[in-house]
Amino acid sequence: MQIFGAYALLLAFVLAVYGILAGIVGLAAGHKRLQASAQRASLMVFPAVLAAVICLLGLIFHNDFSVAYIAEHSNRALPFYYKFAVLWSGQEGSLLFWSLVLSGYGYIALLTSGRRHPHLRGLVAIILSAIQAFFLLLNNFVASPFSSLPVGTPLDGSGLNPLLQYTQMDIHPPILYLGYIGFSIPFAFALAALIKRAPGDRWIQVTRLWSMIAWGFLTVGIVLGGYWAYKVLGWGGYWAWDPVENAAFLPWLTGTAFLHSVMMQEKRGMLKVWNVWLIFATFLLTIFGTFLTRSGIVSSVHAFAQSSIGNYFVVFLVTIVAVCLFTFMRNRRARRSANQLESTASRESGFLFNNFVLLVACFAILWGTLFPVLSEAIQGEKISVGREFFDRINIPLFLFLIFLTGVGPLLAWRRTSLGSLRRNFQWPALFGVAIVALLLGLGIRDAYPLVSFGLCGFVAATITSEFWRGARVVQRRGRSFPSAVVHLTMRNTRRYGGYIIHVGIILMAVGITGSAFNKDVEAPMPYGASMHIGPYQLTSQSYTQDDNANFSSEAEIIEVRRDGRDIATMYPSRRFYKASNQAQSMVAIRTRPLEDLYLVYAGDDPTSQQPILHAYLNPLIVWIWIGTLVVVFGILVALLPNRRADATRPLAVGETREVVHA
């Protein structure tokens, strides 16, 4: 199985290289059969890589520790469901998984693009094969997951990293990879359209569709990473502006910018050059993020160990930039915009501001992430920037983005009249002000939560008014209001799905803003001791121990009281993993709509030998996870095709045909 997997990977590499060479020669010579052969070779990369992955999984589940990768990342006592996580837990396996996802995306994209974009299919296949060939080069000759140990087979492996032995890590990396790698498809179509000087904007539709899918996966992957950090790392937070967290966030920002500005190209024929470069930048940032994770140049709990593999990514990045620049300079005239901005009080202007803020945030985060590397290279001393730097720059930017999220739907295309502005802004603005007044009445004086909650209220009122106005029009046909909302949404899924996504983002913003009120207390908690945090009294009741083949554990039993009543019993604990000889805290969390009570058993104090309990009170954090579910629902709605109006049905007496404008 080991040899078969290695040969399957080698076959995949040969197919990818053949797809590049035969595709280029076939296009240059106009040889249709050679082009078809190249495209079939590109399609066959997926089953070859899939065969290699199945072989590696088979070796993992059979505990074949003669394979170096399995000996390093697995062990016999590892639970069945964590065996899958071994596939992407190390450098070699994660690169193989990357190749699998990329080839799978390419397989689907090439099969579905034949009818709609036959003129681009050949070039798209070549571009995807080139990307695939790079990763398969690494899989075969730099970081092979099928390498044997140089000495005898050990009886057991070193075990999976304790930080990865959580349910979230069985789903977080695959979903994040689906987001990261998914942007390869719109990149391939954008580059192919530029090379071909494709007329019209039909190619932008497939680019937008794949970008939405990739953006959705990336959004969920980032939030799942935050949820894992919150549940596992035991520091009471979910986002620390870690370099690898930032690396995932950067393409999310540029991808978000593209999904907004592409509407200007579809509606008004504007920003054609800008959109091409947004796609290029998003793909480049996914490769750059992969480089950061694997090169070891930044310190992160998420990064792989330092290795020379980063040099290959540098060459790949430089090559991509050179190809993009050369292609653009040669064919830039084909991407001239058809229209210009007519007014600052227009939806086009709102999208431009949106793009500007997103890219400023992207540059600031990139600068802060690379500053330690640059300072070490220039001055010989690594100077890190902390959370304060990122918060100080990005909080005002993201508050402005929330404001733009509410303003956009209130503006018309081309030009918005003063009367229309006043009429559309009146009620949402009053609702936002009412939220601020209510919070002031509750004693909140901090400017950040006041502004943030006020803006969230403004956006919520704006979106509600959009659904209300549209549904009232549909109601004239005798529908109930809920039925009218559903009908309205299905008539324009992209628009109203986008509004649902914005609702999810606002709920997430509410949860993030709650961090302004976080509290934490740390104290010794021997048997019978108590501590207070917020309205809660925590009392140590007892201790318990457990042992199994994978780990031993010790838990502290904490009684939770509020207003003199027993409301819960919580079990924060610590585990000691036997194979890796590593200890790990297991957090206990009590989640409610208004707050999370978060307990960490931090071990024994080295001086007094008394157990230490660290308690956190995190208001509103659950709304981050709820908001993510709403975002996912909005994405699914936006990806649905519009329901066509029944234009042939005769109208009843007094009935009119509703017109719902996009």
350 falls within a domain: no
pLDDT, mean of residues 101-125: 88
Position 608 scores a pLDDT of 77
Is the pLDDT reported for residue 659 higher than 50? no
Q: Which residues of 36-52 are buried (b: 16+ CB within 10 A; e: fewer)?
A: ebbbebbbbbbbbbbbb
The pLDDT, as a whole number, for residue 385 is: 82
Distance CA 407, CA 403 (A): 6
Task: List pLDDT tens digits, range 324-380.
Answer: 999 999 887 766 666 666 667 677 788 888 899 999 999 999 999 888 888 877 887
Residue 660 confidence (pLDDT): 41
648 located within any domain: no
Residue 42 lies in a domain: yes
Average of per-residue pLDDT across 241-270: 88
Any idea what DSSP says for residue 315? Answer: H
- In a domain, residue 498? The reply is yes
* Residue 185 and residue 148 share a domain: no
- Tell me: the pLDDT tens digits for 232-254? 888 999 998 988 889 999 999 99
3-state percent breakdown (helix, strand, coil) of the chain, nearest 5: 65, 10, 25
Q: What is the pLDDT of residue 303?
A: 53
102 in a domain, yes or no? Answer: yes
**Residue range(s) defining the domain that contains residue 229:** 171-336+359-394
Pull the structure tokens for residue 54. 């199945």
- Give pLDDT, residue 399: 94
Which H or E run includes 117?
none
Residue 9 and residue 89 in one domain: yes
Other beta carbons less than 10 A from residue 363's beta carbon: 13
pLDDT surpasses 50 at 129: yes
Closest CA to 512 of 464, 455, 458: 455
Domain count, the chain: 4
Domain boundary among 349, 375, 394: 394
**If pLDDT is split at 50, 70 and 90, which confidence band does 437 have?**
very high
Whether 313 shows a pLDDT value over 60: the answer reads yes
Cα 29 to Cα 26, 118, 156, 195, 635, distances in angstroms: 5, 17, 56, 16, 42
Whether residues 592 and 558 fall in one domain: yes
Beta bridge pairs of residue 561: 537, 566
Q: What is the pLDDT of residues 565-590, one digit of tens each?
A: 999 999 999 988 888 888 888 899 99
CA distance 351 to 349: 5
The stretch 130-156 carries a mean pLDDT of 92
Q: Which two three-digit tokens encode residue 72? A: 């390093």
Q: What is the reported pLDDT for 661?
A: 40
Residue 298 has pLDDT above 70, yes or no: no
Q: Report which of residues 503 and 262 the model is more confident about.
A: 503
Residue 657 lies in a domain: no
User: Backbone phi, then psi, for 12, in 5-degree steps?
Assistant: -60, -40
Residue 30 three-state SS: coil
Higher-confidence position of 647 and 473: 473
Whether the pLDDT of residue 97 is over 70: the answer is: yes
Q: What is the pLDDT of residue 301?
A: 54
389 lies in the same domain as 425: no
Comparing 40 with 309, the larger pLDDT belongs to: 40
- Beta-strand ranges (E) seen in 366-518 are none
The angle subtended at Cα 60 by Cα 217 and Cα 51, nearest 5°, is 65
Proportion of the chain above pLDDT 90, given as a percent: 57
In a domain, 67, yes or no: yes
- Tokens 């986002």, residue located: 239
Weakest-pLDDT range from 20-34, 394-408, 636-650: 636-650
The residues, any chain, with a CB within 8 Å of residue 354's CB and separated by 6 or more, are: 257, 260, 261, 401, 404, 408
Q: What does the pLDDT look like over 449-483, one tens digit per residue?
A: 999 999 999 999 999 998 998 898 888 877 888 89
**Are 605 and 534 members of one domain?**
yes
pLDDT at 448: 93
- Reported for 486-492, long-range contacts at CB under 8 A and 24+ positions apart, including other chains, are 487/643, 488/660, 489/637, 490/640, 490/642, 490/643, 491/642, 491/643, 491/645, 491/660, 492/642, 492/660, 492/662
The pLDDT tens digits of the residues spanning 198-223 come to 766 677 888 889 999 999 999 999 99
With cut-offs at 50, 70 and 90, classify the pLDDT of residue 307: low
Check pLDDT > 60 for residue 511. yes
pLDDT at 297 over 50: yes
Determine the angle formed by the axes of helices 309-331 and 272-295, rounding to 10 degrees: 170
Q: Which residues of 530-567 are buried (b: 16+ CB within 10 A; e: fewer)?
A: ebebeebbbbbeeeeeeeeebbebbbbbbbbbeeeeee
**221 near 162, Cβ under 8 Å?**
no
**Tens digits of residue pLDDT in 602-632:** 877 777 778 899 999 999 999 999 999 999 9
Do 530 and 504 belong together in one domain? no
**Residue 176, pLDDT above cutoff 60:** yes
Dist. CA 482–CA 488, nearest whole Å: 10
Indicate the SS3 state at residue 304.
Answer: coil
- For residue 367, give both structure tokens: 């600068």
What is residue 655's predicted lDDT score, i.e. its pLDDT? 40
Q: Which two tokens stand for residue 280?
A: 């290029």
CB atoms within 10 A of CB 140: 19
Question: Is 611 found in the same domain as 532?
Answer: yes
Q: Across all residues in the chain, what is the average pLDDT?
A: 88
The answer to whether position 486 is within a domain reads yes
The structure tokens listed for 403 are 């404001």
pLDDT category at 657 given cuts 50, 70, 90 is very low
Same domain (yes/no): 381, 422: no
- Whether 157 and 176 map to the same domain: the answer is no
352/183 Cα distance (integer angstroms): 22
Q: Kindly state the tokens that stand for 454.
A: 């006020």
Other C-beta atoms lying within 10 Å of the C-beta of residue 81: 10
Q: Residues 47-58: what's their mean pLDDT?
A: 96
Summarised one tens digit per residue, pLDDT across range 367-417 is: 998 888 888 778 877 777 888 899 999 999 999 999 999 888 777 777 766
| Res 19 pLDDT > 70 | yes
Query: Which residues contact residue 397 at a Cβ distance below 8 angstroms, ignoring those fewer than 6 apart?
Result: 357, 360, 361, 364
Lowest mean pLDDT among 41-50, 339-348, 549-558: 339-348
Map residue 484 onto helix, strand or coil.
helix
Indicate the pLDDT class of residue 650, thresholds 50, 70 and 90: very low
Predicted local distance difference test score (pLDDT) of residue 620:
96
Find all residues with CB under 8 Å of 44, minimum gap 6, and list them: 15
Last residue of a domain, one of 165, 186, 215: 165
| Domain stops at, among 394, 419, 438 | 394
The reply to whether 415 and 481 lie within a common domain is: yes
Same domain, 280 and 313: yes
Indicate if 45 and 82 belong to the same structural domain. Answer: yes
Placement of tokens 């009120």 in the chain: 517
pLDDT at 66: 92
Q: For residues 560 and 562, give the distance between their C-alpha atoms in angstroms, rounded to a whole number.
A: 7
Distance CA 219, CA 211 (A): 12
CB of 580 within 8 A of CB of 156? no
